[in-house]
Amino acid sequence: MNTDLKCVYDGMDIVTISASENAARCLGLRKNGTVISLSDISPLEVTDWKNVIAVQQGFNYAEGLKLDGSCLFLDISVYR
């Protein structure tokens, strides 16, 4: 078991995260409704995601649910 933990973000503003166990990526939802992506491979371009209230990181997708009920979606296969 690997116990080498490291801090990858310390903005003190993350309210929830979603991580993919297979894709080595995670999304962090900030208090202000914006999203960050962290990855050992290549972070996703989610800097323009605003007014988000929930995130989901899957193996080949990333989704965000916005306050108005609309959804944001990224096809991760384009990042390979």
Please give the chain's pLDDT, 80 residues, in tens: 555 656 667 788 999 999 887 768 899 999 999 999 988 778 889 999 999 999 999 888 999 999 999 999 998 876 55
First-to-last alpha carbon distance for the chain, in angstroms, is 28
| Res 28: pLDDT | 93
Count the alpha carbons within 13 Å of 51 in the hemisphere toward its beta carbon. Answer: 7
Distance separating alpha carbons of residues 14 and 9, to the nearest angstrom: 9
What is the pTM for the complete model shown? 0.82
| Res 68: pLDDT | 97
Distance separating alpha carbons of residues 73 and 7, to the nearest angstrom: 27
